[in-house]
Copies of this chain bind each other. A is one copy, B any other.
Amino acid sequence: MCVFRIDGRACDELRPLAIETDYLTHPLSSVFISCGNTRVLTAASCEEKVPSWMKNQKVPGGWVTCEYGMLPSATSERCRREASAGKQSGRTVEIQRLIGRSLRMAVDLEKLGERTIYLDCDVINADGGTRCASISGAALALAIGCKRLFPVEENPFRELVAAVSVGIIDGTAMLDLCYEEDSRAEVDMNVVMTESGKLVEVQGTAEGAPFSRAKLNELIDLAEYGLKQIFARQREILENIR
């Protein structure tokens, strides 16, 4: 039993998950995902060329890249606008590299052809777990985008991916941390998986004290349990969209 979560959830309970597709009028596809109060607008845009480094190195196929941002008013204290600061923060850079790597696993880049798909993940409102929500949302936007780009030809999309955060608070493993939980977690872990249950990325970080192998395994079990529910929602939407 787990009476102490600040929002009354059980330790293995996800926050309410809401997904709205095609919220935007311009891009190839867009997914507005809410995990509790964390709301991220993700969008896929396609450009019919590849980055210059691919051209120069003659790498065949296409590319998938990600950019992550946060509205200044998305956080509890207004955060500085990166565009006016003149650079992305280290945190932003680290997050968008993680998202990019994870999403590239979902696609066969060679079959994608000479294209770049941009995945923009913009946090409209933040309450912990923004990088995981970004991955789960952008993966769906990417899947929808590929469906639209390849109605007839072989679709380069391989498999859905999704992500969830898990952590240890006062010695107990918990699923899908909100901001307040995240900021006092002893261990914080982000797990990215494929729909077929394989690991794409595992990033576990001791925040207060190092952790044992047993705890690592407990956390990944918990993440897997939550991710199954997210995959079910992604799958349902993907099947029904044109």
Question: Using a CB–CB distance below 8 Å, which chain A residues touch chain B?
Answer: 23-27, 30, 37, 41, 43, 45, 47, 67, 69, 71-78, 81-88, 90-94, 96-97, 101, 105, 118, 120, 122, 124-127, 193-194, 196, 198-206, 209-213, 216-217, 220
- Shortest distance between the CB of A221 and any CB in chain B (Å): 9
Q: List 9 tightest A-B contacts by C-beta distance, closest first.
A: A198-B210, A82-B83, A43-B73, A45-B78, A202-B204, A27-B73, A93-B93, A83-B83, A90-B93
- Mostly helix, strand, loop or mixed at chain A's interface? mixed
Contact with A25, one of B30, B77, B94, B125 (Cβ below 8 angstroms): B125
**A71/B198 in contact, CB under 8 A:** no
With contacts A45-B73, A73-B43 known, is A198 near B220, CB below 8 A? no
B220 touches A199 (CB 8 A): no
Whether the pair A203, B200 counts as a contact (CB closer than 8 A) is: no
Contact B202 A216 (CB under 8 A): yes
